[in-house]
Structure 1
C-alpha cells in the first residue's frame, strides 16, 4: 500500500482477493495492484539485480516470514541497499542493509510497481485523437512493421526489374548465364520475402490484439465507472449499440487502416522508380489518383448525414430487440408478440431504408471512381505505346511492361487511400456514438481518493435537499435526522415520499444534493466511494443473481471467502433450509435470469449476499415484499440476529415488519413528518396512524365483531 501510495494510488485491503489474516502470495498482490490501475510484476531477484535497479518509486521486497520492506534506493559503490518500513511515514529515512544481512530474511521475491501506461489516457475524452494516442503507445512494434514494410516494398521492385531484364537482355541476347543468375536471385529473394512477410504479419497480429484488448478493457472500465442514473435514464439497447461501435473501430484500425498505411510505404518507394522509368506516365497515374480522391471528397458531407441517420435508426431497432428479450416474460404473459413484431418491423424497415441510402451513396461513389481506376492502367499503357511510336529511338518492351507492373502497385494503394477517407468518415461517426457513452462524467474522477474510515454505523442527515435531474419537485426537502450506531431505523411513507431516495444518497448513487450527510462524523462526499459501498449491505426489492453457483453468488465480490462463510450468511438470511433441499446444495447452478429459483428464494440469496461480509450498515429496501408469508416469517424471525451489532435501515410498506425498529422515520412528498418508535407514532402521527389502520383494518373489524357475537349469543 505504501509503494502504491508513492504513485498516487490508494489501495484498499478489501480489494485484495485473499482471506484476511493470511500472508498473500505475490500473484495475489500483483492482481491487487493491477485491479487498481498499476502496472505490477512479481519476480525473483538476486543481489546484483537489486543493485542495478533503476526505477521511479520504491521496490517491494517480500521476506520469508510474510513481512515486507521497501527498497528506496541502491548504492552499488557501498554494496548496500536502503530499506524502509512500509508502516513508517513518508518522512522516515531508510537504513542501509548489506547482502549478508538481507539474505537472512529475504527469499529473493520482489514486487515492481509503476503507473500503467494505459491509465495515462483514462481521463482523456474518447475520440479519434484518443485512439491515435493509443496506437502511438505501440510505436516500438509499429517501427518494426515500418522497417519490414520498407524492405518488402524494395523487394517488390524486383519482379518488374526482372521482366525488363529478361525481355531486353536474356531473350534478346540469348544470355543463359544471366538467366541462371536471375533464377538464383529469385529463389533467394522469394525465401527471404516469405520469412519477412511472416514476421510482419505476426507483428501486425500482435498490435491488433493489443489494441483490441486495450480498447475492450477501457470501454468496460468506463462503463462500470458511469453513474447509475445514466443507465436508468438511457435505453439499454442504445447503450449496447453505441458501445458496440468499438468493434468497427477495432476492425478499422487493425484492418483497412494498417493495410493502407503499409501500402503507402510501397508508394513512397515506387514513385521514384516510376519517375525514373517514365515521368510522363507517372504524372498520368498521379493525376488519375487525385481525380479519385476529389470524387470521394465530394461525397463525404452527404455520406456523413446519411450514415448518421442510419446509425440512429439502428439504435432504435436494437433497443426494441433488447427490450423484447429482457421483458420476454411480460411479452409472453400479456400476449404482446404481435405488437412487438409490428414495432420491430417498423424499426427494421426504417433502418433498411437508411441502409439502402448509404448503399446508394457508396454505389454512386464507386461508379464514378471505377472509370478513373481503369484509365490509370489502360491510359498509361496506351500513352506509353504512343510515346514509343513517337520516340526516334523507341522504347524497350521490357521497360514499358516494368512500368505497367509497378504502376499497378502504385495506383492500387492510392485508390485504397482515397477510399480510406470514406471509411474514416464512417469510423468518425462510430467513434462519436461510442464517445456519447464513454465521455459521460464518471461517478468519481479519482477512484483511489477519499477517506476510508472503519464504520460503527452512526448516520446523520442535516437539512438535506435533493431533486432528481429533470424533475420539477424535490424528492427530499430539508430532511434532518440522526441514527445512533447499532440501531434499526424504519422508513415509511406513501409511494414517492423519498424513502428509497434516502438509501440512494447514503450509497453515493446520487451525489448532487444540498445539506450534509455524515457517517460516523465523516462527510459522505469525502469518503472513498468504493469503500463506502463495500461497507454497506444492500438488498433491493428486485435483485439480480449472476450466472453461476449459489455459493459463488453469495460470496460475490469476496472471492477469498469459503463455503463456511456462505453457509453462515445463508443461515442468517433463512436461505439454508431451501438450499440444503436442492440436489447439489450450494453448488446448484443458477442460469441467466435465475429461472430455476422462486422469487422468495432469490430474495433470500440476495439477503445472504448482503450479509456475507458482515457489514456495519445494512439497507433492506422492500427486501421482504416479494417473499411468501413463510419466507417472510423466516427472515423476520432472524431480523434481530441480523441487526445485532450493525445499523439497519429498513424500507417497507408493511408496517408490521417495522414494529421492532427503535425508530421509524415517516416521510411524505419529500418532507420528514416525524421520527419515533411505533407506539409513539400511533398516538401523534396522523399519516402513520392512517397507514397502519389501512393495513390492519381487517384485524380491527374482526376484533369489533368478536365481542358483539359473544353478547348476542349470551342474550
Structure 2
C-alpha cells in the first residue's frame, strides 16, 4: 500500500483477498491485486548485483523470508547498500541502510515493481481486428525468432531442389559415383539442420500460441466481469454465453490457420524468385493459377458472410435453449414440460441444420471451383514443363529443372492457395468477432472499479432529491427521495411491490449510477467512491442467493478466502447456521452441489447471511433476506439481527413488518415516493399505508386479542342470577 500511495493510489487492505493455501501473499498474488486496482505491478526474482543498479527507480517492494515485506526507497552503489523503510510506519520515518550480507539473511530474492497505470485504454479497447493485431504484436520477440527461423528453413529448402537437379543432370547422366556420395553427404547435413530449426520454430510457435490463447481468454473474462450488472439483467444468459464464446473461434484462427499461413509466406518470399530463375513461364503459370483461386474466393465472401451470420445466430439460439432447460430443469420436471420443450428443441435444431447445410453448400462451390486450378499447379505444371523441354530445348528447361521446379513449386503453391482460402476463414472469423463484440464492446465499469476515492466507511447515509428511471422505463422508479440516517442506524424499508425499495438498495451498491440528485455515504458522493472499495464495504443478502459449487466453508469465505476457521464459525453462529452445519456429516467441509440442491432454501439463505457477515462490513443490506426461512429460522436470525447490527448501519427490506418492529427507523415507500419515516409506533399512528399493511398481516393477532379481551369483560352468570 505504501508503494501504491507513492503513485497517488490509496488502497484498502480489506480489498485484498489472499490465495487459498498461501501463508503469506506471493508477488504474483500481490501483482494481480494491484493490477486490478488500476496500477501496473510485476513480480520477479532478482540478484543483488542487479538490485543495486536500480538507484533511479521508484520505491520497490522486497519480499522477506518471514512473510513480511520492506520498501526499498534508495540505493548507494558506491557503498553497496540499500535503504529500506518499514511500510507500516509513516513516511517521516528515516530509512535504514542495509548492506548485502544482512539483506541476504532476510530477503527471498523476490521483488515487486509497482507503477501507476496512466493508460487504462487497453482494457477498454474495442474488440475488433485492430485489437487482435495489437495482441499479436505484443509477441514481438517470438515473432522475430519465428521469422528468422522461417527464413533459414526456406533457404535450406532451396538447396535440396538444386541438388536433385544436379543429380538428374550430372550424376545420372555421367554415372558419377563420387559426385553422388558428396551430394548425399551435403543433403544429410542440410536435412539435419532443417529438422533442428523446424523443431525450434514449432516450439516457439506453440509457446506464442499458448501465450496468445491465455491473453485473449483472460482479457475476455476480465472484460465480461467489468460489464455492469444492469447489462446482464437485460440479456438472455444462454445467448450472452454463446456470443462471448465466439471469441474462441477467433482464438483458434489466430493460433492455427493464420499462424500457419504466416509461416508459409516466408517460403513464398524466399522460393518464388528461384522459381523465376528456373523457368519464368512455369513460375508465371503458378502465380496466375493461384491468383485465380484468390479471385474465386473473394467473389464468394459476401454470400458466405450472410450464411455464416445466420448459422451462428441459429447456433446461439440452440445454446440458449439448452442452457434455459438445464437451468430450469426443476420446473420442467415438476410441471411435466418435457413434450413442449422437445417440440421447441426440434424446431430450433431444424433451423440450425438448415443454415449449417446452406453454409456448407455455399462453401462447397468455391472449394470445387478451386480444385481444377489446384490440380493444375500440382500436376499440370510438370506436363507443360515436359512439353517445353521437348519442343524447345533451348528454353533452358531440362529434366532436372522440371524436377526441381516441382519440388519448389509445390512449396510455393501451398501458401498461395492457403492465402486465398484464408479469405474464407477470415469471413467466418469476422462474423464471430462481431458477435463477441456485441457483448464485450459495451461500456464497462473499469474506470469506476479502479479509480475514485477510498474513504473510511462509517455508515451515515443521505439521500437528497434522488430521481431515478430504469433504462427503457417510462416512469420514474424514485421520485424526489430525500432522507438521511446517522451511522449505526437500523433502517427498515417497507411498501407494496414496485414501490422502490429494492431500487434504493441498488443505488447504494452502485449497481445503477445514472440517478439525479445526491446520494452521500459519510458525506461523500457515492459516485466519487471507488466501486470495488464501496462494494467490499457492504454486506448484501438478497432474496435469492447463489452459492458456488464447493464446501460450506469455501462459500462463507468467498469474499476473503484467507480467513480463519474461528471467524467462519463466528459468522455461521451470527447467521443462525451453526446448528444445521454441525448436523451435517462433514460439517463445514460439506460439499454444496451445483444449484445448492443438497441443502434447503432456508439453509442457503443463512449461509448467504454468514457470507455477508464474515466480511465485517460497516453497512449491511438485507433485501428480503429472511423470506425463504421457516418461522423458527426467521426468529433465530431476527434475534441475532441486533447483534449483527451492532456497530454498523443496516438497511433491511422486508414485506414482513413484524421483522422490522425493532428498527430504529422505518421508511415507507409508495410508487417511488417516500410517504413517511419513523419508528414502528409512530408510523402506526401517523402513516395510513403502514397501518394498513400492518393490519393486513396481523389482523388475526389483533382479533384474537380483542376476543380474549371481550371474554374477560363478560359478566359471570351463576345459577340463580
Distance of aligned partners of 1:713 and 1:174 in 2 relative to their CA distance in 1, 3 Å threshold: farther
**In the alignment, is the contact (CA less than 8 A) between 1:10 and 1:448 conserved in 2?**
no
Q: Does 1:691 align with 2:693?
A: yes
What is the DSSP-based 3-state SS (H/G/I as helix, E as strand, rest coil) of the residue aligned with 2:462?
strand
Which piece of structure 1 moves more, 147-156 or 530-539?
A: 147-156
Within 2, Cα distance between the matches of 1:174 and 1:342? 77
Within 2, Cα distance between the matches of 1:407 and 1:116? 54
Match of 1:301 in 2: 302
Match of 1:447 in 2: 449
Alignment of 1:624-635 (within 5 A): 624-635=626-637
Which piece of structure 1 moves more, 432-441 or 375-384?
A: 375-384
What is the DSSP-based 3-state SS (H/G/I as helix, E as strand, rest coil) of the residue aligned with 2:127?
coil
List alignment gaps of at least 5 residues for structure 2.
Answer: none
The offset of 1:176, in angstroms, is 0.4
Within 2, Cα distance between the matches of 1:55 and 1:192? 45
Within 2, Cα distance between the matches of 1:651 and 1:407? 76
Q: Does 1:179 align with 2:194?
A: no
**In the alignment, is the contact (CA less than 8 A) between 2:142 and 2:204 conserved in 1?**
yes
Alignment of 1:415-564 (within 5 A): 415-564=417-566
What is the DSSP-based 3-state SS (H/G/I as helix, E as strand, rest coil) of the residue aligned with 1:680?
helix
Q: Does 1:367 align with 2:368?
A: yes
The offset of 1:81, in angstroms, is 4.5
The offset of 1:85, in angstroms, is 6.5
The offset of 1:444, in angstroms, is 3.9
Within 2, Cα distance between the matches of 1:374 and 1:451? 68
The offset of 1:240, in angstroms, is 0.6
User: Which residue of 39, 42, 66 corresponds with 1:40?
Assistant: 42
Within 2, Cα distance between the matches of 1:54 and 1:265? 44
Distance of aligned partners of 1:113 and 1:618 in 2 relative to their CA distance in 1, 3 Å threshold: same
Q: TM-score, with normalisation over the residues of structure 1?
A: 0.94
Deviations 1:569-610 (A, max 9, x none): 000111001011111111111111111100010001111111
Distance of aligned partners of 1:408 and 1:49 in 2 relative to their CA distance in 1, 3 Å threshold: closer
Alignment of 1:122-137 (within 5 A): 122-137=123-138
Distance of aligned partners of 1:131 and 1:455 in 2 relative to their CA distance in 1, 3 Å threshold: same
Alignment of 1:32-181 (within 5 A): 32-33=33-34, 35-36=36-37, 38-43=40-45, 45-46=47-48, 48-53=49-54, 56-62=57-63, 69-77=70-78, 79=80, 81=82, 86=87, 97=97, 99=99, 103=103, 107=107, 109-114=109-114, 121-181=122-182
The offset of 1:239, in angstroms, is 1.1
The offset of 1:9, in angstroms, is 5.3
What is the DSSP-based 3-state SS (H/G/I as helix, E as strand, rest coil) of the residue aligned with 1:638?
helix
Within 1, Cα distance between the matches of 2:644 and 2:651? 12
What is the DSSP-based 3-state SS (H/G/I as helix, E as strand, rest coil) of the residue aligned with 1:437?
helix
Within 1, Cα distance between the matches of 2:580 and 2:83? 59
The offset of 1:26, in angstroms, is 4.7
Within 1, Cα distance between the matches of 2:357 and 2:311? 9
Match of 2:323 in 1: 322
Distance of aligned partners of 1:193 and 1:100 in 2 relative to their CA distance in 1, 3 Å threshold: closer
Distance of aligned partners of 1:541 and 1:392 in 2 relative to their CA distance in 1, 3 Å threshold: closer
Distance of aligned partners of 1:425 and 1:56 in 2 relative to their CA distance in 1, 3 Å threshold: farther
Distance of aligned partners of 1:119 and 1:175 in 2 relative to their CA distance in 1, 3 Å threshold: farther
Aligned-CA RMSD value? 2.6
Match of 1:16 in 2: 16
Deviations 1:176-233 (A, max 9, x none): 0111112212222222222211111111110011011111111111111110011110
**In the alignment, is the contact (CA less than 8 A) between 2:36 and 2:450 conserved in 1?**
no
Deviations 1:454-488 (A, max 9, x none): 22211111110100000101110100111111121
The offset of 1:38, in angstroms, is 3.2
What is the DSSP-based 3-state SS (H/G/I as helix, E as strand, rest coil) of the residue aligned with 1:322?
helix
**In the alignment, is the contact (CA less than 8 A) between 1:33 and 1:40 conserved in 2?**
no
What is the DSSP-based 3-state SS (H/G/I as helix, E as strand, rest coil) of the residue aligned with 1:190?
helix
**In the alignment, is the contact (CA less than 8 A) between 1:59 and 1:70 conserved in 2?**
yes
Deviations 1:272-302 (A, max 9, x none): 1100000011110111111111111111111
Distance of aligned partners of 1:104 and 1:204 in 2 relative to their CA distance in 1, 3 Å threshold: closer
**In the alignment, is the contact (CA less than 8 A) between 1:499 and 1:667 conserved in 2?**
yes
Match of 1:638 in 2: 640
Match of 1:589 in 2: 591
User: Which residue of 413, 416, 423 corresponds with 1:414?
Assistant: 416
Match of 1:286 in 2: 287
Within 2, Cα distance between the matches of 1:128 and 1:348? 31
**In the alignment, is the contact (CA less than 8 A) between 1:460 and 1:517 conserved in 2?**
yes
Match of 1:246 in 2: 247
Q: TM-score, with normalisation over the residues of structure 2?
A: 0.93
Alignment of 1:26-37 (within 5 A): 26-27=26-27, 29-30=30-31, 32-33=33-34, 35-36=36-37
